[in-house]
Homo-oligomer: A and B are copies of this chain.
Amino acid sequence: MDLLKIKSPEDIKGLNENELEILCDQLREALIKKLAAHGGHVGPNLGVVEATVALHYVFNAPKDEIVYDVSHQSYVHKMLTGRIGAFIDPARYDEVTGYTSPHESPYDLFEVGHTSTSISLATGLAKARDLQGRTNNVIAFIGDASLGGGMALEALNYAPELGTNFIIVLNDNQRSIAENHGELYDHLAELRNSNGQSENNIFKALGYDYIYVEEGNDLRQLIKAFNKVKDSDHVVVVHINTMKGMGLPVAEAHKENFHFSAPFDVKTGAPLHIDVSEGYDDMFAKRMISLMQENKNVVTMTAGTPGAIGFSEDRRNICGKQFIDVGIAEQDCITMSAGLAKGGATPVVGVVSTFLQRAYDQLSHDIAINDLPVVIVDFYGGVFAMNDVTHLGIFDVAMVSNIPNITMISATNAEEYLAMIDWAVKEANKPIVIRTPTGQMRNSNRKVETDFLRYEVVESGEEVAIIAEGALFHNAAEAAQILKAKGLNPTLINPRILSAVDEACLDSLKDYKHVVTVDNGILNGGFGQKVAGYLAKYGTKVTCLGLKNEFMDRFDVKDVLLKNNLTPEQIADVVLSE
């Protein structure tokens, strides 16, 4: 059919199964074309073309409510719900986000981007439905990797208590981004290998009806299974066995690399834009491998995102038992690290800033109260990192730096970063969070000053000072040059430590005319307000710059800097303002 004619799922309900299969081929073809040209979540979406078509064919969204876990696999859903243009017309590729978004469509119920929330969200929808006496189906669509996350298991446990219609579609593609971890996955294999017949069945143990679909990319089998559970009056799991990357040979063959990919050549899988520069992730991984080889008690840990911290499969293999991936289980990862430290090992957890949010309590209790020497290396913090609303890196400082006993330090360049890692692993002997720089790779133009618990006065001046952290330090350094050109002699400070103020250093500024702080993240709860809170008692004029406390989606970083007075010119102007 003409894909452009699909305005809503109603438009596919009249098709027969043959026609639906042709539709799947068309959708997949269009998807591959866009993914190759534009980049995106390749494997997850290609694996669920048939499942998504079958869902929308059998159920009646938006009356029937479908919640996609993580929602990075919702591209076909978007194609079927009024947004086909954004997948067919290159000029419109950026019209849709990579996740479900209620701002885009009433078929999208939630902004989602972290894993393991779909069952909880769906139980809420189901309970609201029951309170109001409605009768629609509620469906949580969740991948095998997400199911291992603690909150998914909490909800899996609770949902049967609803006692009403509740359908979980378990999209089992036998993968996390990398390989799965945990015994649940052996159990899912047991279920697959027995064609769903194994006596042992965790879902049945928890009170669910259970249906297994061996060919999860076979539209007819899926339609049959979904029809069977439609309007169910109780909880049921439909376990579908799908193939990640289905239909694109390079994605089927290289599942980890094609979980998410930048634009690529469809035949070879080679990236269209080759970037040979070393990133901070590579730098981290190489340094950790060297530290682990030096000391067999050092371990590197991740919760399901080894690639994001530079640990490609070959690097993981080098590390053997010194590399731990617990799967998508940030809470377990952080608390396990506390156990490792207590047991005399030196755990270094590499974590994407936004996912660290899953483990606030574990940071606070298991690491901080116990004051255990865990090193956490925080990636993609600040404004130069990911810009999806569900993956922002601008909240980490406010979250982490106010927990007692945790020392949070932020690097401005490569040499400083590596020195921080070395210091944290070998010397600090307390909980340390290191914020990895983002944005352009920088090298140091000065000797690394390694007393990271004190501010570094990079340029000693008078009357006005700028204290700026992380990647925005460089904007402040440029601002200082602008001020010098105007005849001022500004003091320029790289604070490094964000979890406490350097009182002696700040005392030296108390009679300054103006002190400006620059947070690479939200203003609220950041280091700048700590500086203001300290200096304001002297009546020192302090202006705190940083990001407004708001969720932004797919922003242009230049716009955001401009809007928040964070360009070098603007910082200089703020310093000069009365």
Contacts and interface: CB of A to CB of B under 8 A. Distances in A.
Interface residues of A, number: 119
A429 interface: no
Interface string A204-246: 1111100000000000000000000000000000000000000
Contact of A533 (B296, B365, B528): B528
Contact of A336 (B127, B329, B345): B127
Contact of A402 (B152, B202, B522): B522
Number of copies of this kind of chain in the complex: 2
Contacts of A148: 154, 157
A339 B360 CA distance: 22
A123 B338 CA distance: 10
Nearest to A327: B158
Given A120-B331, A200-B199, A338-B110, A157 B184 contact: yes
Interface string A521-536: 0111100111011011
A100 to B, nearest CB: 11
Interface in A135-153: 148-153
A252 to B, nearest CB: 26
Contact of A131 (B345, B395, B524): B345
A457 to B, nearest CB: 21
B365 A123 contact: no
A117 B365 contact: yes
A316 to B, nearest CB: 14
Contact of A158 (B332, B345, B522): B332
A295 to B, nearest CB: 10
A320 to B, nearest CB: 11
A304 to B, nearest CB: 11
A307 to B, nearest CB: 19
A205 B207 contact: no
A127 B364 contact: no
A10 interface: no
Interface string A177-208: 00001111011001000000001111011111
Q: Which 6 A-B pairs have the closest CB atoms?
A: A124-B339, A150-B150, A128-B343, A120-B335, A157-B182, A154-B329
